[in-house]
Structure 1
């Protein structure tokens, strides 16, 4: 009951932190979509690039979150942005690449050859086949990768409060530092 009172008394702060958290995740995943989908298309067309690109993305995903945030601090300190939203968005962007690139690659790689042949048969160029045949058929799997990236990174972005990115993770940090169970429960509920 105390948590409910805390939420009702602090709803504007919770709403602000929720918007901030959502913005951070959407910017990072949006950038990953803009980079990841073309990368997925590229590695289907230039097959020898698939192993190194997917390998690098897999290695990045195996780095513990707090360690990746730690790596971002000295890197972004060179441009005066050692802590805050920019290193957090960059780290979450890197985490988002694997599911998006892999799902784009898998979806396009597993399309029936007959679809491409039918497009060639009616005189479509490479770009026409990609736009009108291949991408529409691959969209459900690509969107699956995007959904995975978003769900995964809502939790990862909560940890970004440790490097000053804000968002709902800030509520958890404040709850831990002040031993405020109500704040911790409210933060955990908002993230879930």
Structure 2
């Protein structure tokens, strides 16, 4: 090969190889395409809250609106809303994941269809109707709302647990058994770690559902931000209704963002 030809090949090879700056730009572009929603969502929350504060600050609120929108009152109702969503989601996790694991085992697969069908029927019921039925059946209050919220959000985690375990590559399970692992060891060391991303995705859906549905818990005396909505409707105060809706929307978006961050972390570690 001549010297000129060799120099041409070297030049083409150097031109084809990306520079460090290009590699960094490509990496940043890839990260943005995968996680852009984690940047956009907080921006939407900030804009929404800024609009609410600006709106309230430019309005002449009467004494009733000032009392309802007082920081201590809104803060108390906000904490109740978070508490309702958190406790019910923990119960969903405690109930749905073990039940999903049991239904994914070979001996219980016949019961899988009926149980998921019952769960689908429970989720299809109107949440407001479920809460009212539970209240008249049991009693009005916090724990009745927790039971109703748990029933309403059970299916996503249950279904994702079953699907996640069923999607584990059978060859990996057979390899683990061939290495001498027991069924229990294979479940906890191979199957569950591989199914965790799918389970977390279902938990994210359940958490966001609970945050929104917890607004209805105020109708059975369980508190929450639904109290603001009720007060706005009873008192015919549009300003209170707008602020209540904005806070509920911002809370749902924030919870969804936090759940999304947790989901990405879990997927990255399991992958």
Please indicate, yes or no, whether the TM-score normalized by the shorter chain is above 0.5: yes
Is 1:60 the equivalent of 2:122?
yes
Is 1:83 the equivalent of 2:140?
yes
Is 1:152 the equivalent of 2:152?
no
* Structure 1 vs Structure 2 CA RMSD: 1.6
2:241 pairs with one of 164, 170, 184: 184
Q: How many positions carry a matched residue from both structures?
A: 186
**Separation in 2, partners of 1:3, 1:85:** 31
**Separation in 1, partners of 2:180, 2:57:** 63
Residue 157 of structure 1: how far off its partner (Å): 0.8
**8 A Cα contact 1:24 1:89, kept in partner:** yes
Where does residue 79 of structure 1 map in the other structure?
A: none
* Larger RCO of the pair (alpha carbons < 8 Å, separation 6+): 1
Residue 67 of structure 1: how far off its partner (Å): 1.2
Residue 135 of structure 1: how far off its partner (Å): 0.9
Is 1:28 the equivalent of 2:85?
no
Residue 12 of structure 1: how far off its partner (Å): 2.3
**8 A Cα contact 1:36 1:101, kept in partner:** yes
Residue 2 of structure 1: how far off its partner (Å): 4.7
**8 A Cα contact 2:135 2:141, kept in partner:** no
SS in 1 for 2:203: helix
Moved more, 65-74 or 140-149: 65-74
Consecutive unaligned residues in structure 2, runs of 5 or more = 1-53, 59-65, 250-271
Where does residue 100 of structure 2 map in the other structure?
A: 40
SS in 2 for 1:124: coil
Question: TM-score normalised to the size of structure 1?
Answer: 0.92
Is 1:49 the equivalent of 2:106?
no
Q: Which has the larger radius of gyration?
A: 2
1:190/1:41 Cα in 2 relative to 1: closer, same or farther (>3 Å)? same
1:4/1:129 Cα in 2 relative to 1: closer, same or farther (>3 Å)? farther
SS in 2 for 1:105: helix
Moved more, 180-189 or 91-100: 180-189
